[in-house]
Structure 1
């Protein structure tokens, strides 16, 4: 275990000596690296030093302990600080806790107590270092998870759920245009059987590395492997390339040519250019759809979504009523995209007339779509009794419709009804979960160690998702609500009992009475004592 480094700061030399000589630093696994009576010296040197703990007086001439704490935590946020304060420094101490100081000890200093506080704080420091090390080691996995979720999350939700992750990892996602491509390994089964799992994965990883090198000049180039697919996400600054799309296409053509005689047979699909990273999933879906054209033209080609749109013909591409149309319908309903659904059903009406010459063919197509919609509703496990009746009614009335437009209008009405039902179901579920959070907090607010992780574990929901969901439903964070409940309970106890403020602090979940007093005043504008006095005087 590494020896912890400690700095002692106090303008009174006797106080410094007292702390230095009366604490058993060896027992704490620590050593005092620096002693000074000048806080400015520490502020000037801290960025070049690796320090675990600073013990400092609050009131000092020149730079005081509070200013020192701000300077240190600004550049070394994981440095632990314990402040020594006189009783009159209470307001300073409250401010210190607000900015991140670990604890403070009142004068005259009880050295045994100070040693206990230092032991606890140094243990916290050690735990934080371990966590930071684990986070650093898991960074590649976290980045992979981010991009994987980015591809699968709709543009409406991506920024809301993923922006904080990107900021935390320091990802540079401020490009002007993005594009996604999918490289599909067509012969992955044969390649695995021929070379074995290990050799196959080496080939795939080598391919991914080659792709990364090919596109390294772009602001963003990330390759994600999944199954027999490589998903390539590229970002570019406008003006740095004459034609982003043309350049990407040429690079992939070179890769495809190079692998023409390699063990891996590749098909590449290129999606649309999108203007921000949160819309990458749209380009990804385009790219996946593009790779599907290998079934028509064969493997070993690049399918560009632009060319597919330009050259789509009635006999070759996207015949209305295919599985692709059914999945698109389900996707639009999942996204509750009424505008997209209206566009889809209007286009469907035109395509059905173009591709089928009789009513029976049109009805067969609609039957297939309604059957797929039925399966989707069953899979979502949403209470859809009314929707099921609407679908059954449409099934029964299909033969009665006089025009294709009428059928598609009715299909749109059912899809819109489905969107509404899904929205209500999701909102109801979110409200229910938020209610469970409220109940848990009201039952456990007295537990000083209660955290969002305890609540998420109890509800079997990830802490990040639970925090976002609760704020979306309630308008404030879980931490804010915990504080609200605790302060309200404290007000009741202050009004109705003669318990000491320290006892009330413990009963409402605050281990530190000074922190309780600071939180109480921040919420009510009064200290606990002032509040009690006002309540007793009455109107």
Structure 2
């Protein structure tokens, strides 16, 4: 039942409202009648009320001030303000303060009851929504952490600070870390067991992770996506090294728990950060470390510091010189490619004494090459398979020379594929050129520029390419096709020469006759 408070310094007004409203029909009861604002405020500080009906003009504490204080105590309380004065300023202040409605005296009790009913209906809806909101707190917490790891530090601090307080999240710790636990065989499990069974098992793993880490970390939160679990940790350990070693040890234990399980898991460990709002950098670091699984399939847990010497992390992303190799491949200059690879190998072997890092640089180079080939529309599936197979057998290379020899053989394959593709492209252009001529030889305006525009290359390039591939000029091809068509018309029709000339693309009959005799050795008339 809703609790109602009525306040007016006029006792008759209070009694009038009490006795002229059917409170039982509204599922409400008047729990407090007050005759000044201060008395009402004192009651509100110790007793819950759902709806206040208050006069504005009162001694000590007026209705507007009472409304302002009441909403500070309970923001969901509904307030209906009443005044005997027709002051528009009162209405504006009432709405600005957050009052539900403003009514003028003398009161129309039927209208007041309607306003009260509307206020209680809104209160009912808000209470139901509040209940739903409280039930959805776990979802809001998940959304909070999802947004946190996807946002920059400044953006996260600006947009999420208030939510941390609202959700009552204790997030004041010395250090934080993000970890990504990826299900490598997720697709196979879904196909075999179904999506529902897969996610039930994924939720069970999330529970196991929580139980494992809750003993050692104050903040333990897991976010499940389709193919991975993101683990967020926070604690007040004295130094980051101990934090890191503790989480690493527990992750090793997790790997052992799932060693012979349905799931094949790999773990990427993010860096330790001191600020909650910087967790996105730790998460990004964890994702990046998982990329190295391609190089080291025998490992389960990955960190950038484990795979690459820290002094080389910046150089890892340098790609200078790669374009030069691409140019050599485009020219089919295999001698130049061999010299480039020799120089590249000498640079790496002199600078770094780490086989895995050298191989990582080679992979980076190949990634650049394969992207170039992919952009050209070439089929690179076989080359990718060769690269994957080689990485899985990395330990089979006993010297750096073997790695670079393999690289050269792969470059030979790339060069062959590019040459094959180039030849195929040129054949396609020539075929398209012939087809266009066949379809348009009757147009006396047909020319090289028009054909080149249709096959999307320059006229000069088309002319040279066609001559190289077909050992014939395009103008000769046009003439041959036109004369061949003319021969057919001369043999099979009785059309006059002038009309035949026009039908095969010649605007001048005499020029047609000259070209015909040049090609066949006869005039059109004698041929007929």
What range is the shorter-chain TM-score in?
0.5 to 0.7
Given the alignment, which residue of 20, 23, 28 partners 1:22?
Answer: 20
Aligned to 2:5, what secondary structure does the other structure show? strand
Determine whether 1:288 maps to 2:321: no
The answer (yes or no) to whether the contact 1:222–1:234 under 8 Å persists in 2 is: yes
1:235–1:128 CA distance, 2 compared to 1 (3 A) = same
Deviating more after overlay: 43-52 vs 199-208: 43-52
The answer (yes or no) to whether the contact 2:319–2:365 under 8 Å persists in 1 is: no
CA–CA distance in structure 2, aligned partners of residues 290 and 15 of structure 1: 74
Taking structure 1 as the reference length, the TM-score comes to 0.54
Q: 1:184: Cα distance to partner?
A: 1.3
Number of the residue aligned with 2:148: 150
CA–CA distance in structure 1, aligned partners of residues 41 and 345 of structure 2: 72
CA–CA distance in structure 1, aligned partners of residues 221 and 364 of structure 2: 44
* 1:41-74, Cα deviation, whole Å (9 max, x unpaired): 5434436644321111223344432333233211
1:250–1:158 CA distance, 2 compared to 1 (3 A) = same
CA–CA distance in structure 1, aligned partners of residues 101 and 191 of structure 2: 62
Deviating more after overlay: 142-151 vs 91-100: 91-100
What is the Cα-based RMSD across aligned positions, in Å? 4.1
Q: 1:115: Cα distance to partner?
A: 2.3
Aligned to 2:222, what secondary structure does the other structure show? strand
Indicate the structure (1 or 2) with the bigger Cα radius of gyration: 2
1:113–1:253 CA distance, 2 compared to 1 (3 A) = same
Given the alignment, which residue of 205, 224, 227 partners 1:207?
Answer: 205
The answer (yes or no) to whether the contact 1:321–1:368 under 8 Å persists in 2 is: no
Given the alignment, which residue of 54, 68, 73 partners 2:52?
Answer: 54
Taking structure 2 as the reference length, the TM-score comes to 0.55
Q: Within 5 A, what are the aligned runs for 1:136-535?
A: 136-155=134-153, 157-163=155-161, 165-192=163-190, 195-216=193-214, 218-237=217-236, 239=238, 243-298=242-297, 301-310=300-309, 354=348
Q: 1:245: Cα distance to partner?
A: 1.6
CA–CA distance in structure 1, aligned partners of residues 317 and 77 of structure 2: 64
CA–CA distance in structure 2, aligned partners of residues 165 and 238 of structure 1: 25
Aligned length: 344
1:247–1:234 CA distance, 2 compared to 1 (3 A) = same
Q: 1:80: Cα distance to partner?
A: 0.3
Q: 1:374: Cα distance to partner?
A: 11
1:15–1:306 CA distance, 2 compared to 1 (3 A) = same
CA–CA distance in structure 2, aligned partners of residues 251 and 311 of structure 1: 24
CA–CA distance in structure 2, aligned partners of residues 66 and 42 of structure 1: 13
CA–CA distance in structure 2, aligned partners of residues 146 and 80 of structure 1: 31
**Which 5+ residue runs of structure 2 have no aligned equivalent?**
323-343, 350-357, 378-528
CA–CA distance in structure 1, aligned partners of residues 157 and 374 of structure 2: 30
Number of the residue aligned with 1:119: 117
Q: 1:240: Cα distance to partner?
A: 8.0
Q: 1:179: Cα distance to partner?
A: 1.2
CA–CA distance in structure 2, aligned partners of residues 200 and 362 of structure 1: 35
